[in-house]
Structure 1
Amino acid sequence: MNIRIVSSFKEIDPESWNRLSGTCHTKLDNYYNPFISHAYLSSLEESGSAVPRTGWQGRHVLVEEDGRLKAATFGYAKSHSQGEYVFDHGWADAYERAGGRYYPKLQHTVPFTPATGPRLLVARDESKAKYNAILAQAVKQETVSLNLSSAHFTFLRDGEWQALEAEGYLHRTDQQFHFLNHGYGSHEDFLETLASRKRKALRKERRAALENGITVEWLTGSDLTEDIWDQFFAFYMDTGGRKWGRPYLTREFYSLIGERMPEDILLVMAKRGGRYIAGAINFIGSDALFGRHWGCIEDHPFLHFEVCYHQAIDYAIANKLDRVEAGAQGEHKLARGYMPVITHSAHFIAHAGLRRAIDEYLRQERADVEAVGEYLREHSPFRRGEQLEQD
């Protein structure tokens, strides 16, 4: 067995990467996650979005036997905690006030992408339990050998956080809001599961969003021309500049994903007076639609909710997808049928004192996250019987 670390996806053969479970469309997998594809991850790098200059130095762990890639985890040495959506600024401040050096750290996640998905990637014909343990241990050893403060795996699938916890990583929970598709035949079928007052409010909201002559289009595949990307990027820059100060993704990133994975992308674009005025980008997995970010150049009441949430539900129902993951945070999603779902991360803290302090903090935080989720579920828009089914 050979374990090596590479700094660039240019050093990883796409065909070898595609043998890892979940990385590409194949009948051998039960699921496909577009964010762990070679196309997506390499585009982040080649576009200059996730590179050392922006604080993302590739540290991708490859496990090989007899020249064949058996397992991998994509990771980055980070000089900051931006673009992660699982916030550890408090940990960094506490450690550095105590005289420690928190950065650089290792971050095993998809940059700028708060979506659940595999982080411990194993070849389809190999033992996942065996290689999960090997990857977990390899990352711990790397953290210690480089004298780094910590290593973090975020937005993990079930099974992975348990495997990491068994290797000494600390378990952290958070909350997102997902639409769960219970085999609805149409958006109206979904609305019928809501309490009457909530149902009427959403119907009114959708009508109001499309006033002033606004129409909505779904663009995917060959629809994604460079002109369309120019227009969407203008939306992204406007909203991203106001929200983050400096948007994370470059214009070239959109050209690359449009070339490499166009069938995995859904742009929901709003048009008025013959021109596009707003849009949201989504990525299509085998069982889920992942909403990422939106932008606009005109403000209209409820248009954000229509483009980002209602249209995503329409698409998921029409294409029989199990769920819509609508990104980080946002209690306002609850009223639109997106239910609270626990998300998981795992953290290896090298310093024993810091590890004990964080472990105690996480015990209380997990209880708080569960309590908030329970409260929100009790106040969902669903009728009582339907609410129990959502739980």
Structure 2
Amino acid sequence: MQSQQLWTVRWLNAIGDVDREQWDKLALPLSTPLLEWQWLHDLEASGSISPRYGWQPYHLTLWDHEELIGAAPFYLKSHSGGEFVFDHWLAQLASEYGIDYYPKLVGMSPATPSVGYRFLMAEGVDKQVLFRNMLSAIDNSCQQQQLSGCHFNFIDELWFAQFPAHDFASWKHQSYLWKNQDFEVFEDYLQTFKSSQRRNIIRERRSMSKQGITIRPLNGQEIGTDMAALMYRYYLNTNERFGPWAARFLNGDFFTRLFQNYRHRLLIIAAYTDSAAPPIALSMLLVKDGHLIGRYWGAETQVKDLHFNMCFYAPIEWAINNNIKTFDPGAGSPHKIARGFRAVANTSLHRLYDPRLKILFEQIIDQANDMESANIKALNQQLPFAKNTRPV
């Protein structure tokens, strides 16, 4: 590697402006699939994530001549939708003080509330020096554009802890996580529950066969590209149920691209009433390096207990059979607690450039973090585990 004096900063307005092989040389070694070139490219190339919808790609890259040595996906945001870090209260405070909160710079994998965001760094480079250079580029760009702040969402907290001098404020958020306790079969998972909840899960599982429904996991080449249109339709069906609270960010072209180009990272749970007919429901998850991430699901019509089986039980069974260590089920309601998903904290990092906004945030954030910790503790007290269940 050359001296850092020869490093060049380039901000890119599309992930397609950087060579896929160079980007993935940095991204593929990571345990998250959400920072890989193909995932980010399919979001952008489909138009699902674009300036039209308030996401202007603005990716940071550092180069040693023509070699990519550092990168991070960023977006200039004109709203807070699709971030799942609910900072609308901060935007309201900014407005009351006459501060323009938008646009802001956000680092994350768009519309994907899953932990793992970090800077991509080449091997053989001094990580501390590269980190400082990337932060300096971020500060310079934000200040030149008079942005209110820079925000890293759903960070890889252990990774960022290597760089204690970053001077970002930390904000905790509640999410869910299932951990495989070296289960060998699904019955081992069932045995962690109190008898009453164990019976509930068994009953919910048996209700599928009673209703003539067969559930099959599919991955890799087992996934037909013709399922993309059906997945999109079911995705729309799910969102229609939530009205103004829907989280519809993706279009049909995104699913088409994903099912063509990214099947090696997909797990599809399909529900059938007739093996010769299309699935009546689909659940789409991402899988990489022993980690499972729940993303989207939907059905032709509402069926009793189908959601629990498609989004929890079938993926958990597949995870056990395939030596998956963790399962992030995605954002959502506390019914996950009853299925053995513990409430956990994820972290976002925030640097605010207006001194007034910075002071306001710092005055509030400690109390907000304390409240979130109390919420996580209260949720986990409701876990229906048997007393002899090992803590994880």
TM range (shorter): over 0.9
- Give the one of 369, 373, 379 matched to 2:372: 369
On the 8 A contact 2:82/2:247 being kept in 1, the answer is: no
- Measured after TM superposition, the shift of residue 323 of structure 1 is 0.5
* Equivalent in the alignment of 1:85: 84
Q: Deviations over 1:296-333 (max 9, x none)?
A: 12111111111001111111111111100011132110
- Measured after TM superposition, the shift of residue 165 of structure 1 is 6.1
Q: How does 1:227-242 map to 2 (within 5 A)?
A: 227-242=226-241
* Equivalent in the alignment of 2:257: 256
- Measured after TM superposition, the shift of residue 34 of structure 1 is 1.3
* Equivalent in the alignment of 2:4: none
- Give the one of 302, 310, 314 matched to 1:311: 314
With over 3 angstroms needed to count, the CA separation of the structure-2 counterparts of 1:275 and 1:68, relative to structure 1, is closer
* Equivalent in the alignment of 1:343: 346
With over 3 angstroms needed to count, the CA separation of the structure-2 counterparts of 1:160 and 1:362, relative to structure 1, is farther
Letter in 2 for 1:319: N
- Measured after TM superposition, the shift of residue 199 of structure 1 is 1.3
Q: Aligned partners of 2:247, 2:346: CA distance in 1, in Å? A: 27
* Equivalent in the alignment of 2:385: 382
- Measured after TM superposition, the shift of residue 242 of structure 1 is 3.4
What RMSD, in angstroms, separates the aligned Cα atoms of the two structures?
1.7
Q: How does 1:17-56 map to 2 (within 5 A)?
A: 17-20=23-26, 23-24=27-28, 29=29, 31-56=30-55
Secondary structure at the aligned position of 1:229 is classed as: helix
* Equivalent in the alignment of 2:299: 296
- Measured after TM superposition, the shift of residue 173 of structure 1 is 0.5
On the 8 A contact 1:161/1:171 being kept in 2, the answer is: no
Question: Identity over aligned residues, as a percent?
Answer: 29
- Give the one of 6, 12, 15 matched to 2:12: 6
With over 3 angstroms needed to count, the CA separation of the structure-2 counterparts of 1:128 and 1:310, relative to structure 1, is farther
Q: How does 1:262-277 map to 2 (within 5 A)?
A: 262-273=263-274, 274-277=277-280
Q: Deviations over 1:151-178 (max 9, x none)?
A: 1100011234436763221101111111
Secondary structure at the aligned position of 2:329 is classed as: strand
On the 8 A contact 2:33/2:265 being kept in 1, the answer is: yes
Structure 2, gaps ≥5 residues long: 1-6
On the 8 A contact 1:161/1:345 being kept in 2, the answer is: no
* Equivalent in the alignment of 1:183: 182
On the 8 A contact 2:229/2:256 being kept in 1, the answer is: no
* Equivalent in the alignment of 1:203: 202
Q: Aligned partners of 1:77, 1:5: CA distance in 2, in Å? A: 12
- Measured after TM superposition, the shift of residue 41 of structure 1 is 0.3
- Measured after TM superposition, the shift of residue 130 of structure 1 is 3.0
Secondary structure at the aligned position of 1:344 is classed as: strand
With over 3 angstroms needed to count, the CA separation of the structure-2 counterparts of 1:160 and 1:142, relative to structure 1, is farther
* Equivalent in the alignment of 2:21: 15
With over 3 angstroms needed to count, the CA separation of the structure-2 counterparts of 1:203 and 1:144, relative to structure 1, is same
On the 8 A contact 2:115/2:155 being kept in 1, the answer is: yes
- Measured after TM superposition, the shift of residue 147 of structure 1 is 0.1
- Measured after TM superposition, the shift of residue 343 of structure 1 is 0.3
Q: Aligned partners of 2:311, 2:150: CA distance in 1, in Å? A: 33
Number of corresponding residues:
382
Letter in 2 for 1:75: F
1:145 aligns with 2:151: no
With over 3 angstroms needed to count, the CA separation of the structure-2 counterparts of 1:261 and 1:246, relative to structure 1, is closer
On the 8 A contact 2:104/2:148 being kept in 1, the answer is: yes
Q: Deviations over 1:43-97 (max 9, x none)?
A: 1010011111111111100011132111111000011111110111111111012
Secondary structure at the aligned position of 2:389 is classed as: helix
On the 8 A contact 2:191/2:198 being kept in 1, the answer is: yes
* Equivalent in the alignment of 2:327: 324
Secondary structure at the aligned position of 2:330 is classed as: strand
- Consecutive aligned runs of 4 or more in structure 1 exceeding 4 Å deviation: none
On the 8 A contact 1:136/1:164 being kept in 2, the answer is: no
Secondary structure at the aligned position of 2:241 is classed as: helix
On the 8 A contact 1:165/1:171 being kept in 2, the answer is: no
Q: Aligned partners of 2:265, 2:247: CA distance in 1, in Å? A: 26
On the 8 A contact 2:117/2:153 being kept in 1, the answer is: no
Q: Aligned partners of 2:124, 2:306: CA distance in 1, in Å? A: 46
Structure 1, gaps ≥5 residues long: none
With over 3 angstroms needed to count, the CA separation of the structure-2 counterparts of 1:86 and 1:288, relative to structure 1, is same
> Which stretch shows the higher mean deviation, 89-98 or 236-245?
236-245
